[in-house]
Amino acid sequence: QVQLVESGGGLVQPGGSLRLSCAVSGSIFSFNSVDMAWYRQPPGKEREFVAANTRSGITGYAGSVKGRFTISRDNAKSAVYLQMNSLKPEDTAVYYCRYDTNYWGKGTLVTVSS
């Protein structure tokens, strides 16, 4: 079993910053060799890819967040993070952490509004 718990969401003003965390626990002895990613689901829209950090440490980003978001991982802590800067109202969504290909957290809500 693998459990993922996201945290760090909340209300932030446009242009602000927020850092999301994802703590992974359970049968995660292979964390170092697993791809991690962040997805988000805006209100009324489908879930979409945000950022990924592969087992090799290679990162990739959706065009909409490139240059503003940074994904990182701490294998010693079995955690992955998403630093979000210059937030826009369109970044409002429930953000989900993904472990490997099919393990998901419950999500954390990020609302960008004045």
pLDDT per residue over 93-107, tens digit each? Answer: 999 999 988 899 999
8 Å CB contact between 39 and 58: no
Tokens of 2: 């693998």
Q: What is residue 1's predicted lDDT score, i.e. its pLDDT? A: 85
Among 3-12, 19-28, 65-74, where is mean pLDDT lowest? 19-28
> Which residue is it, tokens 């964390």?
31
Report yes or no: 83 and 72 within 8 Å, Cβ to Cβ: yes
pLDDT at 7 over 80: yes
pLDDT value of residue 83: 98
* Collapsed DSSP state (helix, strand, coil) of residue 7: strand
For 10-62, the pLDDT digits (tens) are 999 999 999 999 999 988 778 888 999 999 999 999 999 999 999 998 999 99
Question: Residue 101: its pLDDT value, please?
Answer: 86
